[in-house]
């Protein structure tokens, strides 16, 4: 369905979850792939699995999206590339009443400023015709208790998507965002542990599609945004109809 031959895709947050699924699909579509994330062992295992499946070497580096210098250096090492996919970040769910300034600033440093500066530093290394894909989430449009930081950050990044689409246009680059709904990835184990199953059941009962999402469904969205040269400035919800829940 997708032909990415001759293209290079860089995924920060590519060792598991939606980022890994996107890297795998891009590789299967013929792209050269580079991945980064924080945990070296998981990253090495992911690169090895991708390489085994795709039959091509996969470039990788352990880093945090919060470390702007490390991200900029990795992007320079990957140059030239076509697409920059940015799912990797960390925001802990916290009730507003329990927040403090350090926690709020850390959330923005990871999920807003991380991808924001990665796009800024990456654009000089990207070939015309390429694109940036941010990842936000449904919390921007439909509140979930405990996710006030997610709501603020997602809303800010959704707004940035439209502004950056204009500013990246002279470079021949597009900017789009995937806004996932509740999706079965390792993130849910990290955030909710075994309680995730209760959460899955509650959401499945209310979502129009009657189930929660998969990493591959979000990756398919990212593939569409990278492949379709007529789409820019869009925030695409891959969420099973989350906003329509009664
Ligand atoms: N899953 C959901 O239900 C859901 C719902 C709404 C929105 N989203 C958003 O969708 C995106 C992808 O989510 P996901 O569920 O696939 O899992 P995820 O936990 O966000 O991350 C998966 C990948 O990102 C890496 N990562 C995490 N924090 C990082 C950091 N600070 N710097 C660099 N890499 C980092 C992880 O590896 P390491 O841990 O080794 O770094 C892993 O490779 C995220 O932005 C998430 O907030 C997810």
Kindly state the average pLDDT of the residues 15-29.
98
Number of domains the chain contains:
1
Whether the Cβ atoms of residue 72 and residue 121 lie closer than 8 Å to each other:
yes
Alpha carbons 77 and 99: distance in angstroms, whole number: 38
> Measured from the CB, is residue 135 less than 6 Å from ligand 1?
yes
What is residue 194's predicted lDDT score, i.e. its pLDDT? 85
pLDDT of residue 78: 98
- The reported pLDDT for the residue numbered 239 is 98
Q: Is residue 121 part of a domain?
A: yes
Task: Read off the pLDDT of each residue in 76-96 and give the average, rounded to a whole number.
Answer: 97
Angstrom distances, CA of residue 12 to CA of 69, 106, 122, 143: 14, 18, 11, 27
| pLDDT single digits (tens) 161-214 | 999 999 999 999 999 999 999 999 999 988 888 899 999 999 999 999 999 999
Q: Compute the mean pLDDT over every residue in the chain, rounded to the nearest whole number.
A: 96
Domain presence at residue 234: yes
Q: Is residue 226, in this structure, part of any structural domain at all?
A: yes
CA of 45 to the centre of ligand 1 (A): 17
Tell me how far the alpha carbon of residue 106 is from its chain's centroid.
Answer: 18
Residue numbers of the domain that contains 76: 8-182+216-240
Which pLDDT value is given to residue 84? 99
Helix (H, G, I), strand (E, B) or coil at 98: helix
165 sits in which H/E element: helix 148-168
Q: Whose CA is nearest to atom 2 of ligand 1?
A: 183
Work out the angle at residue 2's Cα, subtended by the Cα atoms of residues 86 and 154, and round it to the nearest 5 degrees. Answer: 25
Each residue's pLDDT tens digit, 111-169: 999 999 999 999 999 999 999 999 999 999 999 899 999 999 999 999 999 999 999 99
In a domain, 190, yes or no: no
First vs last Cα of the chain: how many Å apart? Answer: 35
Give the distance (Å) from ligand 1 centre to CA of residue 244: 25
- The reply to whether ligand 1 has any atom less than 6 angstroms from the CB of 154 is no
| pLDDT at site 1 | 82
**DSSP state string for 3-65:** --TT-EEEEET-SSHHHHHHHHHHHHTT-EEEEEES-HHHHHHHHHHHHHHHSS--EEEE--T
At 191 the pLDDT is 87
Let me know if residue 210 belongs to a domain: no
Per the domain annotation, does 16 fall within a domain?
Answer: yes
- pLDDT the model gives residue 25: 97
Contacts of 92 (CB under 8 A, 6+ apart): 103, 107, 191
With a 6 Å cutoff on the Cβ, whether 13 touches ligand 1 is: yes
Count the Cβ atoms, other than its own, within 10 Å of residue 52. Answer: 9
* Residue with the two structure tokens 């599609």: 209
pLDDT of residue 246: 85
- Nearest Cα to Cα of residue 141 among 131, 151, 156, 132: 151
Q: How many CB atoms lie within 10 A of CB 222?
A: 31
User: Is residue 199 assigned to a domain?
Assistant: no
Asked, for residue 1, whether it belongs to a domain, the answer is no
CATH number assigned to the domain comprising residue 135: 3.40.50.720
> From its phi and psi, is residue 129 left (phi > 0), alpha (psi between -120 and 50) or beta?
left
**pLDDT of residue 33 exceeding 90:** yes
Q: Looking at residues 95-117, what average pLDDT do you find?
A: 97
């Amino acid at each position: 369905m997708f032909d990415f031959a001759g293209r290079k895709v860089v995924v920060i947050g590519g060792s598991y979850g939606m980022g890994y699924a996107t890297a795998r699909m891009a590789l299967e579509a013929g792209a050269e792939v580079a991945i980064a994330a924080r945990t070296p062992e998981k990253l090495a295992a992911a690169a090895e699995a991708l390489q085994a499946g795709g039959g091509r070497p996969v470039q990788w580096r352990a880093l945090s999206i919060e470390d702007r210098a490390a991200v900029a250096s990795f992007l320079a090492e990957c140059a030239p590339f076509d697409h920059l996919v940015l799912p990797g970040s960390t925001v802990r769910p916290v009730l507003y009443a329990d927040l403090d300034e350090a926690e709020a600033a850390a959330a923005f440093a990871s999920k807003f400023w991380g991808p924001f500066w990665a796009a800024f530093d990456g654009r000089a290394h990207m070939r015309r015709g390429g694109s940036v894909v941010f990842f936000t989430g449904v919390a921007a449009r439909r509140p979930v208790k405990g996710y006030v930081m997610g709501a603020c950050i997602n809303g800010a990044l959704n707004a940035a998507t439209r502004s950056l689409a204009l500013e990246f246009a002279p470079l021949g680059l597009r900017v789009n965002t995937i806004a996932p709904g509740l999706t079965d990835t390792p993130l849910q184990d990290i955030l909710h542990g075994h309680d995730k199953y209760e959460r899955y059941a509650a959401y499945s009962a209310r979502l129009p599609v009657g189930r929660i999402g998969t990493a591959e469904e979000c990756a398919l969205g990212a593939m569409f945004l990278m492949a379709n040269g007529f789409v820019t400035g869009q925030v695409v919800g891959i969420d099973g109809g989350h906003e329509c829940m009664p």
